[in-house]
Amino acid sequence: MHVVERGTGTALVMIHGWGLDHRMLLPLDPVVEQAGGWRRIYLDLPGHGGSPAGGISSTQQIVDAVEAELAERLGDQPFAILGNSFGAMVARQIAHDRRPQVLGLATVAGAFIADAAARTLPERTVIHEDPAVIAALGELGAEYTPMAVVQTREHAEAFLTSVHPGLATADHQALGRIAEHYGLAAEPEDSSPAPFGRPCLLLTGRQDQAVGYQDAWARIEHYPRATFAALDAAGHNVHLEQPGLTGALIADWLQRMRRYP
């Protein structure tokens, strides 16, 4: 599995979303670096980025592969985990599987219901349109616009740096195979129903038409130490559209794990 590590200290595992790679979460790195004392472990999931899919054909097998990688790298050391979109499904399962080791869980635009047809979603909304931004992207404008709630030069640049490279390198044949078994046997909050009592952050975009925000909120009582935030003027790429608020909330989560474990 392709892994990028930065920094030293307590391990923080970062898991990107579907069809992307670790670069999707690198915009969070300056915030974590500034907090100090965190060893950031950015994974490319099988079939994504630099990680070949091999024979993997289900989300459960992706979870198994990540847990094997973490067992090799971390052994029984404690770690925190953050997952984005599909990566939040993987992160939530690992957090429940490895409860004694896990210091805290964060989800960023996390998918809380695997079946897209069963999700509670807001209507597609574009709060700020800028035709010049779309025109400057050329043929990539068609990739950018579906998830862009605020069309700005800064957000478009973040898309080019963080989103497009993963889209361009994903193994779409393997992803098609895995998508046939996209859901886990049960959501981790159901299969492991005891409340998850470590510091958590459930960060959502108020205009996220991919996974929404209400399905995350429905699980809030399962996470008694969770900060829940639904950010306005933000869609599925909430951390790219609202980097300042996202950074503050991530910094708070990191601090809570240290001060009030």
Q: Nearest 5 degrees, angle CA 25-CA 242-CA 232?
A: 130
CATH for 3-122+170-259? Answer: 3.40.50.1820
List the domain boundaries for the chain.
Answer: 3-122+170-259
Residues 217 and 60: their CA atoms lie apart, in Å, by 24
pLDDT at 121: 98
CB 205 within 8 A of CB 109: yes
Instruction: Please enumerate in sequence order all residues whose Cβ is within 8 A of that of 190, keeping only pairs 6 or more positions apart, or say none.
Output: none
Alpha carbon dihedral 215, 206, 240, 250, in 10-degree steps, equals -60
pLDDT at 23: 98
Instruction: Please enumerate in sequence order all residues whose Cβ is within 8 A of that of 43, keeping only pairs 6 or more positions apart, or say none.
Output: 1, 2, 3, 13, 14, 15, 16, 22, 51, 66, 69
pLDDT in tens, 73-125: 999 999 999 999 999 999 999 999 999 999 999 999 999 999 999 999 999 99
Instruction: Please enumerate in sequence order all residues whose Cβ is within 8 A of that of 64, keeping only pairs 6 or more positions apart, or say none.
Output: none
Q: What percent of the chain has pLDDT over 70?
A: 100
pLDDT at 198: 98
pLDDT at 132: 97
Phi-psi region of 4 (alpha: psi -120 to 50; beta: other; left: phi over 0): beta
Query: Looking up tokens 């975009």, which residue turns up?
Result: 205
CB-based burial, 36-55: b 16+ in 10 Å, e otherwise: eebbbbbbbbbbbbebebee
C-alpha 62, offset from chain centre: 15
pTM, two decimals, is: 0.97
Residues 252 and 261: their CA atoms lie apart, in Å, by 13
Instruction: Please enumerate in sequence order all residues whose Cβ is within 8 A of that of 158, keeping only pairs 6 or more positions apart, or say none.
Output: 27, 237, 240, 243
3-state secondary structure of 177: helix
Residues 40 and 29: their CA atoms lie apart, in Å, by 8
- Say which DSSP state 51 is in: B
CB 76 within 8 A of CB 8: no
Mean pLDDT of all residues in the chain? 97
Q: Return the beta strands (E) in the chain as ranges.
A: 3-6, 10-15, 38-43, 79-84, 102-108, 200-205, 226-231
Residues 143 and 159: their CA atoms lie apart, in Å, by 9
Encoding tokens for residue 112?
A: 């809380």
pLDDT in tens, 23-68: 999 999 999 999 999 999 999 999 999 999 999 999 999 999 999 9
Q: What average pLDDT does range 213-233 have in this prediction?
A: 98
pLDDT in tens, 171-187: 999 999 999 999 999 99
